[in-house]
Amino acid sequence: MSDVSAGGDLRVVCGPTAAGKSAIALWLAERTPATIVSADSRQVYRGFDIGTAKPTRDERTRVPHTGIDVVDPTERYSAATWAAAADQWIDHASASARAPIVVGGTGLYIRALCEGLFDEPVLDGARRIALSRELEQLPTAELRRWVAELDPDRSHLGRTQLLRAAEIALLTGQRVSVLHRERRGTSRWRPRYLLVDPGPALAHRIASRIDHMLDHGWPEEVAGLMQTVPVDAPAWKATGYDAVRQMIDGKLTRAAAREQILIATRQYAKRQRTWFRHQLAAAEVTAVNPLSPDWMTLAQRWFDGGLVEHGAPA
């Protein structure tokens, strides 16, 4: 097992939601041994467990996990903060003779750790507040059309990133996508990515996981959280939680809530696929379909640093 305490190669298992990343990472980690470093922007929140697909208590007993239950639901947690913490988690794993495996689907977290974040331009506070008020009123679809004109390379991202891209473009005349390339920071790591994607089967996997969550405690979890967590807490932005909250309030039927969650999750997975396809260097990527009979051979060969075919699934 290589020593990563001073930097160097870093194994990263990534891919869209419900693709099977965690299962493959657990399979690898139990054979090494290893520590899993979660790169999921919603699993950092305490109490938001079922809807964010956190590893179970049994899984966390079998393999050490970090990056989970880091902050309270009311706290804001940035990619830069996560990356700084992840550096420490990785060092601790290495010092404990465990191979760190970064696992998750939050592209910005992975970029912050593996590439460093860019030096953002300073924005005029008063102008930004005024602009934000206007942009926040736009439906996401319309906001995406704006960004498609202002910064096309960012138009596939989520609402938060769309708002940031529009702000910077309108207030500075610069594109975030260009700034990322020109002002990219530094990182200790040389990432090797295992991109997990089951292809067309992902749609069914997403639907099955939503049904399982709804049948196994998600509504009860949300009902409990509603008693203590303010409605404007950042943790509520996790996909699906708003729909479940509306279901509990009687504003949506279970069927309508499920459909809303299904659409939102599929849209999120599509954005993730686009991000990984365009943002990861092909030479650093090994693609694996978890439904293929040879996935174990490919995953183990990737873990061991062997030669594999590169490139993302179509």
Express each pLDDT in 22-56 by its tens digit: 999 999 999 989 999 999 999 999 999 999 999 99
Q: What is the pLDDT of residues 240-292, one digit of tens each?
A: 999 999 999 999 999 999 999 999 999 999 999 999 998 898 899 999 999 99
CATH code linked to domain 8-117+186-304? 3.40.50.300
- Between residues 172 and 251, the one the model is more confident about: 251
pLDDT band at 132 (very low <50, low <70, confident <90, very high): confident
Domain ranges of the chain: 8-117+186-304, 125-182
Whether 57 has a pLDDT exceeding 90, the answer reads yes
State how far Cα 98 lies from the chain centre: 23
Of 176 and 89, the one with more pLDDT: 89
3-class SS at 19? coil
Instruction: Identify which has the larger pLDDT, 25 or 310.
Output: 25
- Could you report the per-residue pLDDT of 212-239, keeping only the tens digit for each? 999 999 999 999 999 999 999 999 999 9
The residue written with tokens 């996981």 in the block is: 209
Determine the average pLDDT of the residues in 58-84: 95
Residue scoring higher pLDDT (276 or 177): 276
Burial (CB count within 10 angstroms: exposed 0-12, middle 13-18, buried 19+), residue 283: exposed
For residue 249, what pLDDT is reported?
97
Closest CA to 209 of 51, 60, 59, 69: 51
Q: What is the pLDDT of residue 13?
A: 98
Of 64 and 312, more confident:
64
Give the pLDDT confidence score for residue 2 in this predicted structure.
Answer: 45
Q: What mean pLDDT is predicted for residues 141-164?
A: 87
Q: Do domains 8-117+186-304 and 125-182 have the same CATH topology?
A: no
User: Mean pLDDT in the chain?
Assistant: 90
Which two structure tokens, joined as six digits, stand for 46?
């305490």
- pLDDT of 107 higher than 80: yes
Which CATH number applies to 125-182: 1.10.340, 1.10.287, 1.10.20, 3.40.50? 1.10.20
CA distances from 28 to 35, 102, 126 (A): 10, 12, 50
DSSP string, 153-215: GGTTS-HHHHHHHHHHHHHHS--HHHHHHHS----SEEEEEEEE--GGGHHHHHHHHHHHHHH
Evaluate if residue 123 carries a pLDDT over 90: no
Report pLDDT for 4.
52
Give the pLDDT score at 306: 55
Q: What pLDDT, on the 0 to 100 scale, is given for residue 307?
A: 44
